[in-house]
Amino acid sequence: MSTSAATASPSRPAGPDRVRTVRLTGDDEALRGVVEHVCAAAGARLLPAPGAGGAPPEGGPAADLELLDVRAAAGPARPGTVLVGRSEDPGLWDRAAELGGCPVAVLPEAAGWLAERVAGADPGAGGGPGGGRVLGVLGAVGGAGTSTLACWLADGAAGGARPAVLVDADREGCGIDVLLGTEEQDGLRWPDLLRVAGPVHAEQLWPALARTGPLRWLSWDRSLPGDGPAPYPGVLEALRRAAGLVVVDLGRCAPEAAATAALCDEVLVVAPRTVRGVLAARRAAALLGPVPARLVPAGLDVADVDDAFAAATTGLAVAGPLRFAGSVPGAAETGRLLEAGRARRTARDVARLLRATGVLA
């Protein structure tokens, strides 16, 4: 989302003491009330509503910042325009892409971000990474339970003091929302973000995410993968600032997944307790290179693959086991996966892994 500021009109007086002005195009009085509060907080003045086509009233001053209500958006937007709306407004992100990737403010949640913008500051400037932790989950082989574990880890942390978010980084997986049973739920998906240019800010992104109880999530969908790269770096950094834990489903180990894993603070490599699974985990460890990683042996031990053998073969310390119950595949097909992860034995395994990675005390 572009952060370029609107260019001030050369006819307006400059200087630090001049009151900045804002104009909102749209007739939603409730939204206008929110913008009025934002302007008051930023020490700015909200100008009268524009005339037809978004033009200032005849003879009226131009504004330092133009805001466009998504429900009134029609035609091109001026450079620096911010598209405003509510999280439930349909087509918010599509319209932003149509307008050339203009910034989006989901109100009232993004009021703080918008106040900085109104005041003339760059909301993306300054400040280091937030305190949130980014934890990747990578499958040594397909079908190891990678997505299942990612869902359970995010759900297990979601009830904590700081929020948790689940991020689907498996572009070929047809959407982790199917695994959650929430594919019909409205909310932001990755294809919406592919068409929006520029940095992504937490206060813009967070309120647009779909949620299941306290857990927020960002999924791919069933559309054919596009050619453009996914903006994983910017989105993960924004979510790090908003959440206590960001769990990233990296999918099956491959060079592309390993590149995304480099954005994580730590990666859990899920491998079946089989000889093939352990050998695949050794290859995954090599692909991850310097990324901190630990092993999660999953499922039944059908080949006498104990933790010591797995650790010695892969060079990865074992974070803890993950024992799958026979009911899990059926739960995943019927939208009850999170419920299955809360069963006593599975919840203990998940909590042990969260403690091993420092998420839980």
> 1 pLDDT band (50/70/90 cuts)?
very low
Q: Is the pLDDT of residue 13 over 90?
A: no
**44-58, 170-184, 229-243, 271-285: the lowest-pLDDT one:** 44-58
Residue of 247, 315, 353, 284 whose CA lies nearest to 140: 284
Residue that is written with structure tokens 């954005």 in the block: 263
Q: Is the pLDDT of residue 10 over 80?
A: no
Residue of 248, 221, 254, 244 whose CA lies nearest to 235: 248
Question: How is residue 162 annotated by DSSP?
Answer: S
Query: From CA 66, how far away is CA 140, in angstroms rounded?
Result: 50
pTM above 0.85, yes or no: no
> 306 pLDDT band (50/70/90 cuts)?
confident
pLDDT at 121: 66
> 11 pLDDT band (50/70/90 cuts)?
very low
**How much of the chain, in percent, has pLDDT values that exceed 90?**
43
Mean pLDDT computed over 336-343? 92
Query: From CA 342, how far away is CA 337, in angstroms rounded?
Result: 9
Q: Of 324 and 315, which is predicted with more confidence?
A: 315
Please name each of the domains of the chain with its CATH number.
21-118 (3.40.50.2300), 133-356 (3.40.50.300)
pLDDT at 4: 34
Q: Is the pLDDT of residue 186 over 60?
A: yes
Find out whether 225 and 171 touch, Cβ atoms under 8 Å.
Answer: yes
Q: Is the pLDDT of residue 96 over 90?
A: no
Find out whether 61 and 12 touch, Cβ atoms under 8 Å.
Answer: yes
Q: CB neighbours of 224 closer than 8 A, spacing ≥ 6?
A: none
Q: Of 32 and 186, which is predicted with more confidence?
A: 32
